[in-house]
Structures are given as C-alpha cells and as structure tokens.
Amino acid sequence: MGNKQTIFTPEQLDAYQDCTFFTRKEILRLFYRYRDLAPQLVPLDYTDKPDVTLPYELIGSMPELKDNPFRQRIAEVFSEDGDGNMTLDDFLDMFSVLSEMAPRDLKAYYAFKIYDFNNDDYICKSDLEKTVNKLTRNELTPEEVSLVCEKVIYEADVDNDGKLSLEDFQHMIVRAPDFLSTFHIRI
Amino acid sequence: LIFSFQALMGKPYGSLPRKTVPRAEEASAMNFATLWDFSGFAQYSVLFYGYYNNQRTIGWLKFRMPLSYFLVGVGTIGYSFMIVIRTMARNANEEGGGDDTSFNFSWKMFTSWDYLIGNPETADNKFASITTSFKEAIVEEQESRKEENIHLTRFLRVLANFLALCTLAGSGYLIFFVVRRSQKFALEGLENYGWWERNEVNMVMSLLGMFCPTLFDVISSLENYHPRIALRWQLGRIFALFLGNLYTFIIALMDEINLKASYLLPFIIFNMHLEEEKIVKYNMTIWEASLYNGTIPENSTAPPIQVDPADVPRGPCWETMVGQEFVRLTVSDTMTTYITILIGDFLRAVFVRFFNYCWCWDLEYGFPSYSEFDISGNVLGLIFNQGMIWMGSFYAPCLPAINVFRLHTSMYLQCWAVMCCNVPQERVFKASRSNNFYMAMLLFILFLSTLPAVYTIVSIPPSFDCGPFSGKTRMFEVISETLEHDFPSWFGKVFGYASNPGLILPFILLMVLSIYYLNATSKSYKEANLELKKKLQ
C-alpha cells in the first residue's frame, strides 16, 4: 500500500495519527464512513481543509449510534458547535475516544461530559433523572426515579455538595468492573 | 440401565413362571381399568421388580443380574447425593464472590448500557433488563429502609404463625377423620359405595394440597417480609403441611392393616406377607405332588414336567406392590398437576378475559385476576416428585424413565401456560439467589427417601418368589456372595479386617475432625478477603 491516496496531505494524516488512536488505514476507512453519510456534502479532497459539517440527524442515524439512548449527548459533546453537527475532526475524535484503545481516564472524562446534560460541569439530580429515564424509557415511577438518584448521590458524592463533580465521578467509575467494556463502540 | 440389559439378554416373556400373568388374572389383565391401576399385565412387565430373575448370571455374558441390580440401586443414590452436594458447593462459591455493594446504583446507572448494541431488538431487551435490574435494586433498598414498628410487626408475625399452625393441625385432623371413615367403609364392603367414598382419602389429600398453600399465601401477607424470605417461609410451611399429612395418614393406618398407598407401608404389607408366603409354599409342594400323581418322591429324578408357566401358583411379591403404589402415585400426581394447571390457570384466564365485560367489578384487577406465576408451588412440586422417584426407583426400575417422559411433557405444558395465562409477580426479585436453599431441601428429601429403601435392604428378607434377590435372607448378601465366589481369597480377608468396628470408628472420628478444621480455615480465608477488600478502597 503506497501513499497513493489524494484525500489528505501526509502532514494531515500524521496529525490525525497523533491526535487519535487510529492508524492510517483506519483513518481513511473512517473518512469513507463519514463521506457515506452525505456524499454530496463531503468532498474527496481535504487537502485545503474545507469547512464541512454534517447535521446531527445524519450522525444519529448511523447504525452504531441509532439504538443508543445517549446518542444526542454524545454528538453534542464531541461537536464543535455543541449542537451535534460534526466536522470530520469531531467525527474522528468521537470514535477515537470510544474505541478500545483509549485509556480509562480519558473515557471517564468524556463519560462525565456526556452524562452532564446541562453542561454545568456537575452531574446534578436533574441530570441523573434524565439519565435514568433514558435508560429505562420512562418505565419507572417518579418515586422510584427519585430514590435511585438519591442513592447515586449518596454513594458517589465524596465532597458532599449534593451533586457529582468530575472527581467524584472518576473516583466511582474507575472502580467499576464493566465500564471499559460497555463504554466502547467499534467501527 | 438394568432395564436394557434384562430386555436384551434375559429370557423372553413367557418362558419363566415369574414373567407371566397367572392364568386366573389373565382374563382381566388387559382391561384398561386394571392397566390403569398398574396391576395385571403391567405388573408383570419390566417395570417392576418382580420381573427380574434370580439367576446369578444371564445370557452369554454371564451378566451378574442380582449384583448389578443392587449396585446400580446403591450407586444411583450415592451419585445423586454427590451431585446435590457439589452443586451446593459451587453455588456457595458464587455467592461469596459477588458481595461488593458499594456504588451499586451508580454502576447500574452509568455502566449498564452497552454502547456496542446496534440491533433494535437487542436494544429492547437491554432496556427491559436494565429496568428489571433497577426495580430489583429498588426493592432491596426499600426493604432495608423500612421503618418498622417493631412491636406491631412482631405481633403480626406471631399471629400469622399461629394461624399457620392452626391450618396444619386442622388438615391433620381432617385426614385422620377421613381415614377412619374409609376403614369403616372397607369393613362394610366397598361395593356399597360410590366413587367418592372409595377414593375419599386420595381426593382429600389432593384437595388439601391444592388449597392450603393458597391459604398460607394469604396468611403470609400479614407478615410483611422481603419477598425472598417470604418465599422461604412459604416453602417451609408447605413442606410441613405435606409431611404432617403423610405422618397423620400413616399413624391413622397403623392399627389396621389396610393396603392403600403410603410411603412407609412396607412394614405393614410385609407382616401380612410372611403369613402368605408360608401358605403359598405349602400349596406349591402339594401342587407339585399332585403333578406326580400323588407320590412325593424324596429325590425327584423324574424328568421335569413341561408345565405352562402361567399355571404355576405365584407367591405374593411385596416389592412389586410397593413399586406399583409408587408408580400409581406418580401418575396421579402428574394428572393432578395437569388438571390444576388447566383449571386453575387456563380456565381462570378465560373466565376473566371474557366475563370482564358483564361483571360488576373489574375482574382483571380485583379478585380473580390472572394467576401469578407461583414459584414456590412449582419448586416444591418438583422436589417432591424427585423424592418419590428416588424412593420408588429401587422397586420399579423403569420409574425414572416414566418420570423423564412426564417432565418433558409437563415442561412444555407449563411453558405454554405461563406464556398465555400468567402475569409476573408485582415485586420483582431474583429467586435464583436462593439456589442453595432449594438445594438444601432437595438434599433433605433425598436423605428421607433413601431411608426406607436402605432399611428394607438391610433388615427385611426379600420375597421368595420374585425379584433378583429371592432366596436370600438379606438383600445385601449379594455382595458377600460375590466376594466369596469371584474375588481372590485375600481380598475377602482384607475386607473382613477392614470392616472391623475398631477400624471404622477412628476413621469416622478422623473425618469429623477434618471437617471441623476445613470449616475453620474457610472462615479465616473469608475474613482475610474482606480485610483486603477494605484496604483496596
């Protein structure tokens, strides 16, 4: 396999390899996946760094993401504009963090941002309630939801401010046995 | 196993007296009624103990039939013990490992969704399982949080236990009363009474078995326990009910010899049987003499007379009778289960579904709503069924085969019934955590079931005319015979020394000590484990 591709300059490819956990082949493969979402929007030549953003609806319809209850939050966290519309860089970033090569602390950081629905750098009770409802598709009664959220805060809140900071969250999540295996998307 | 060997290598049906139906009974042998009753033709088939010849070897392999029968019987029981205990040990291992409950809810919330899911059906299943998991955890939490008014709870629990005891006593008295009545009927001749009176005892016992557990369920709602503990109490009470019924039944029968079904009846049958045996032996000699036209030669050198095997008078065979009773019991138990499912679950569901429109109150939420899936009843049914099989398989070798067939069919039937007529329980909890409890019950029943068989092996002489052990004074003499004839003589000597009590008692003592030591070390390991876990935090 030579350097026959004309999509990226060699410097760009090297930069991508440094910033993400992917190899050259994987980056190219991901580019084609990105392009397949909207071939008319994405040019085949990225050497001049075009400013192309795919709307959230296209991202959320990818087979890897469409069944995930948190897909909107994932797209919002990794997108530049915070609305879920992703450039190629955001796209590569997202799948890199969610791949199995990413270290635990990095994943914990991004998981925290995903579950922080109101973006105030704390997971408060309303964030927890939204999470539970997304997980159970609103099948629990409000009392049950409230009980669960109180228990979570009771268990994980170390600094006793009634909400989870990044440190509380990390302290709790790195001890979880299946965090790495569940917080993983293969593409 | 034994069944196949006998079928393959034993002499065919009809060639030996024991294997044929006596002429007197031939007339009615094929009636369905007698067939249903497992007498007649079926009695003399491979199903039962009496079929097996007492020759030492059979066929060209010189297969040692009696020895194999005995060893297979003992071996099955030993194997069952080992399996139950091994399962218990494995379950105990698993339970001990998963005890880390810090961050339980947090982990459930943040790590339960699998991001790799890409299939909508899998996603649905995952949502459902997450919801169930949350509900379970909530129930556990609520149980541990309940502020109890201790006195009220205690009072209610005492009251509930008192009611349960009353129910047990009531059912015992009822059985006693009914058995007395049936004895009275028997004295006056069974033909005067209809079907109900004849089968009164069986029917009453089955009905009690159907209604009392429901009663216990109602009582247990007073007690307000965690669902898992409530289940254990329920199981314990139902178990006590069945045992109590059984013992009352036997006691009521003790003072009169009545040949109806009972688990420990062999003693009673046996006493009568000894008398019968003597009579039959006497008759046989007379009959043989009549064949030789009146003379009773001391050394009969006359050629053996060809007699149609069906004509030879037969001695009574208590083992077969016991086996028959067990098979009858199993079959009636099967029938009861099927009918209960059909009536209790299916008809009820149909009734609720269709009559809901024209009924005063909402049938689906109110009284006879769809039946819940009854874990305790089903588990107990399985355990008792297994107990019956263990008890009966020594006397009726085909019983396990029949039971396998029955289990297959009832599994499919119950699967269908659950899918179409049951609703899950309201409070979700994992019944599978109580695995060891069920296994412990199974072990207990295994022990109880093997007691009668072991007793009969050790102390009652087998019938002289049927079964592989006939002619000996005790069944386990098969082993001593084998030792004498087949093994080299030094082996016999060694065995004789080894079975000396002076050697066995210290051995038992040694085992007890080692059990104690292993227990102590396992406790200390568990504690060390906990300490290490704390340090990791």
Dump pLDDT digits (tens) for B355-368: 766 766 665 555 55
Q: Which of B104, B110, B141 to mutate: most A Cβ within 10 Å?
A: B110
Distance from the A161 Cα atom to the nearest Cα atom in chain B, whole angstroms: 17
Distance from the A128 Cα atom to the nearest Cα atom in chain B, whole angstroms: 8
Q: What is the pTM of this model?
A: 0.58
* Exposed / middle / buried, residue B160 (Cβ in 10 Å: 0-12, 13-18, 19+): buried
In chain B, where are the structural domains located? 28-97+317-536, 119-148, 150-263
Q: Name the helix (H) or strand (E) containing B58.
A: strand B57-58
Taking only the tens place, the pLDDT of each residue in B152-192 is 778 888 888 888 888 888 888 887 887 777 777 767 765 66
Distance from the B428 Cα atom to the nearest Cα atom in chain A, whole angstroms: 13
Q: Sort out which chain A residues have CB atoms less than 8 A from B424's CB and list them.
A: none
Q: Residue A54 — φ and ψ, nearest 5°?
A: -95, 135
Determine, for residues B115 and A139 on separate chains, whether the beta-carbon distance falls below 8 Å.
no
How many Cβ atoms are within 10 Å of B505's Cβ, its own excluded?
10
A93 pLDDT band (50/70/90 cuts)?
very high
> Residue B304 pLDDT more than 50?
no
> Residue A47 pLDDT more than 80?
yes
> Residue A3 pLDDT more than 70?
no
pLDDT of residue B253: 59
> Residue B374 pLDDT more than 90?
no
Weakest mean pLDDT among A9-23, B40-54, B137-151, B197-211? B40-54
Q: Sort out which chain A residues have CB atoms less than 8 A from B117's CB and list them.
A: 67-68
How many Cβ atoms are within 10 Å of B131's Cβ, its own excluded?
19
Average pLDDT over residues B27-43: 37
Q: Which of B105, B114, B145, B146 to mutate: most A Cβ within 10 Å?
A: B105
Are A10-98 and A104-183 the same fold in CATH? yes
Helix/strand/coil for B341: helix
What mean pLDDT value characterizes chain B? Answer: 66
How many Cβ atoms are within 10 Å of A6's Cβ, its own excluded?
10
What token pair was written down for A37?
């979402």
Q: Residue A165 — φ and ψ, nearest 5°?
A: -90, 175
B310 pLDDT band (50/70/90 cuts)?
very low
- The residue of chain B nearest to residue A112, with distances taken between CA atoms, is B110
What token pair was written down for B257?
């010899």
Cβ atoms B68, B397 nearer than 8 A: no
Is residue A144 within 8 angstroms of chain B, CB to CB? Answer: yes
Query: Which residues, at least 6 apart from B174, have a Cβ–Cβ distance to it below 8 Å?
Result: B204, B208
Higher pLDDT among residues A85 and B102, named by residue: A85
How many Cβ atoms are within 10 Å of B164's Cβ, its own excluded?
22
Q: Which of A33, A61, A64, A67 to mutate: most B Cβ within 10 Å?
A: A67
Percent helix, strand, coil in chain A, to 5, is 50, 0, 45
d(CA B205, CA B183): 16
B86 pLDDT band (50/70/90 cuts)?
confident
The DSSP result for A110-171, as a single string, is HHHHHH-TT-SSSB-HHHHHHHHHHHHTT-S-HHHHHHHHHHHHHHH-SS-SSSB-HHHHHH
pLDDT of residue A110: 93
What token pair was written down for B327?
């098979």
Q: Say which CATH class A104-183 falls into.
A: mainly alpha
Among A115, A140, A184, select the one facing B116 at the smallest CB separation.
A184
B295 pLDDT band (50/70/90 cuts)?
very low
d(CA A110, CA A116): 10
Higher pLDDT among residues B488 and B203, named by residue: B203
Cβ atoms A176, B103 nearer than 8 A: yes
d(CA B395, CA B384): 18
* Residues above pLDDT 70, as percent of chain B: 48
Cβ-based contacts under 8 A for chains A and B: 96
Q: Sort out which chain B residues have CB atoms less than 8 A from A140's CB and list them.
A: 131, 134-135, 138
B83 pLDDT band (50/70/90 cuts)?
confident
A74 pLDDT band (50/70/90 cuts)?
very high
Determine, for residues B110 and A98 on separate chains, whether the beta-carbon distance falls below 8 Å.
no
pLDDT of residue B11: 32
Q: Which of A107, A148, A168, A184 to mutate: most B Cβ within 10 Å?
A: A148
Mark A99-120 as b/e (b = at least 16 C-beta within 10 Å).
beebeeeebbebbbbbbbbeee
B71 pLDDT band (50/70/90 cuts)?
low
Nearest residue to B45 via CA among B356, B318, B527, B396: B396
Distance from the B140 Cα atom to the nearest Cα atom in chain A, whole angstroms: 12
> Residue A96 pLDDT more than 90?
yes
Question: Of the spans A166-170, B100-104, B381-385, which averages the highest pLDDT?
Answer: A166-170
Cβ atoms A56, A87 nearer than 8 A: no
Question: Which CATH number applies to A10-98?
Answer: 1.10.238.10
The DSSP result for B186-228, as a single string, is HHT-GGGS-HHHHTHHHHHHHHHHHHHHHHHHHHHTTT---HH
Average pLDDT over residues B287-315: 45
Helix/strand/coil for B63: strand
* Rounded alpha-carbon distances, angstroms, from residue B391 to B4, B187, B252, B404, B413: 21, 31, 22, 16, 26
* Exposed / middle / buried, residue A78 (Cβ in 10 Å: 0-12, 13-18, 19+): buried
Cβ atoms B327, B379 nearer than 8 A: no
Q: What angle do CA B92, B94, B95 make, to 5 degrees?
A: 65
In chain A, where are the structural domains located? 10-98, 104-183
